[in-house]
Amino acid sequence: MTSKSHRNTSPLRMLRSATLLYASCYCSSAISTMQYSFATRPASASFVSTISRTYCRRKRVMRSITSLASSTSNTSTRDDLNINNNNELYQHRIKTLRQNSKLSLAPMMEYTDRHFRHLIRLISDKTLLYTEMVAANAIVHERDGALSSDSGKLNSNYLLRFLGQGHNNEGASVLQLGGSDPDQLYIAAKTVYEFHQLHTRQWLQLSELDERDPPVFCDYTALNLNCGCPSSKVAGKGCFGAALMSEPELVRQLTTSMHEGCQGTMPVTVKCRIGTDDGYIFTRDQYMQRSEEEEYQALKNFVLTVADGGIVTDFQIHARIAVLSKGYSPADNRKVPPLRYHHVKRLADECPELNISLNGGVDTLLGVERELDDCNALDGVMVGRGFAANPWSFAMADEVLYSRHEIDCHDHVGVKNRIEVLEAYGRHADFEEELWDPVKVRRFITKAISPLFAGEPNAKRFRIALDEIAGLPKQIMKQQTNGVTVREAMHGQPPLSELIMEAAVKHLSEDALYRSPKDSYEKMLWEHEQKEQKHIFVNSATGDNATSLIKEWQESRKEEELRNANENAI
Active-site amino acid positions: 229
CA 110 to chain centre: 12
β-pairing, 173-178 vs 134-135, is: parallel
| CA–CA–CA angle 188, 194, 198 (5° rounding) | 140
CA 325/CA 550 separation, integer angstroms: 27
DSSP state of 339: P
Asked whether 302 and 246 are in contact (CB, 8 A), the reply is no
d(CA 379, CA 364): 17
Residue from 343, 358, 246 nearest 296 by CA: 343
CB atoms < 10 A from the CB of 58, how many? Answer: 19
Detail the DSSP E strand segments found in 5-160. Answer: 103-105, 128-130, 134-135
CA 29 to each of CA 17, 25, 210, 419, 554: distance values in angstroms, whole numbers, following the listed order: 18, 6, 17, 28, 40
Residues with Cβ < 8 Å from 559, sequence gap 6 or more? none
> Phi, psi (5° rounding) for residue 382?
-105, 130
**For residue 549, which amino acid is it?**
L
Burial group, residue 208, by CB count within 10 angstroms (0-12, 13-18, 19+): exposed
CB 315 within 8 A of CB 270: yes
The rounded distance, in Å, linking the Cα atoms of 326 and 232 is: 10
Round the CA-based radius of gyration of the chain to a whole number and report it: 24
Our CA dihedral for 430, 432, 435, 440, rounded to 10 degrees, sits at: -110
Q: How far apart are CA 458 and CA 460, in angstroms?
A: 5
